[in-house]
Structure 1
């Protein structure tokens, strides 16, 4: 499994206050499921955040960010953030908060 243990540990620490968190290995990364929904992943030298698709265009413009692409398809609402752009705690927490906010929206809709 080729993922950044540093990112994985930082995500664990940020989610430790939540009751319903599960870790799953998928897509060559370590996914963090919150309330049964994919929320964040620790990948090789990057973190993937699942955010509100309405915020995608604004957030993906930030340095070190890119849209997740799988099998040639762009996934709006899924953003990779390079590890070097997560060094500052406030930058890291920004992405955690966006992912958790969207996760709450998904959970409250019952999806």
Structure 2
């Protein structure tokens, strides 16, 4: 899973300034930052993955460098990719991270994979 190391460092710096320690997890083709067991943002290639309120989706797509996020051939509802042109300034990056953090309390956590029960002799 390749990702832009500089963008990753910029994202980490934003969370550090906010005094937050999100869990980093490899998923959805990149390195994701999890808050309350829910993805907030992630870095894949040179783009920022962002999870936002689906109601804000149409407005967000109008921003520079923003596009639908497709994963395994399907568009993920409420997830966007922001390319480097839309992340040039720290203010741009902060906008997307805060938009995602604002949605986080309302977002649903992904279903945890259940582990199969072990066979037991009675």
TM over 0.5, shorter chain? yes
Aligned equivalents of 2:26, 2:72: Cα separation in 1: 19
Q: Does 1:57 align with 2:64?
A: no
Aligned equivalents of 1:76, 1:98: Cα separation in 2: 15
Asked if structure 1 preserves the Cα contact closer than 8 Å seen for 2:2 and 2:45, the reply is yes
* Partner residue in 2 for 1:99: 100
Asked if structure 2 preserves the Cα contact closer than 8 Å seen for 1:3 and 1:28, the reply is no
Task: Please give the secondary structure, in 1, of the residue aligned with 2:14.
Answer: helix
Asked if structure 1 preserves the Cα contact closer than 8 Å seen for 2:28 and 2:71, the reply is no
* Partner residue in 1 for 2:115: none
> Compared with structure 1, are the counterparts of its residues 28 and 72 closer, same or farther at alpha carbon in structure 2 (3 Å cutoff)?
closer
- Runs of 4+ more than 3 Å apart: none
Aligned equivalents of 1:4, 1:66: Cα separation in 2: 18
Cα offset, 1:72, TM superposition = 2.4
Higher helix share: 1
* Partner residue in 2 for 1:67: 68
Higher strand share: 1
Structure 2: tracts of 5 or more residues without a match: 112-122
Count of aligned pairs between the two proteins = 108
* Structure number with bigger Rg: 2
Aligned equivalents of 2:9, 2:105: Cα separation in 1: 22
Aligned equivalents of 2:57, 2:77: Cα separation in 1: 6
Asked if structure 1 preserves the Cα contact closer than 8 Å seen for 2:31 and 2:44, the reply is yes
Asked if structure 2 preserves the Cα contact closer than 8 Å seen for 1:22 and 1:34, the reply is yes
TM, length-normalised to structure 1? 0.87
* Partner residue in 2 for 1:6: 6
* Partner residue in 1 for 2:119: none
CA RMSD of aligned residues (A): 1.9
Aligned equivalents of 2:85, 2:4: Cα separation in 1: 12
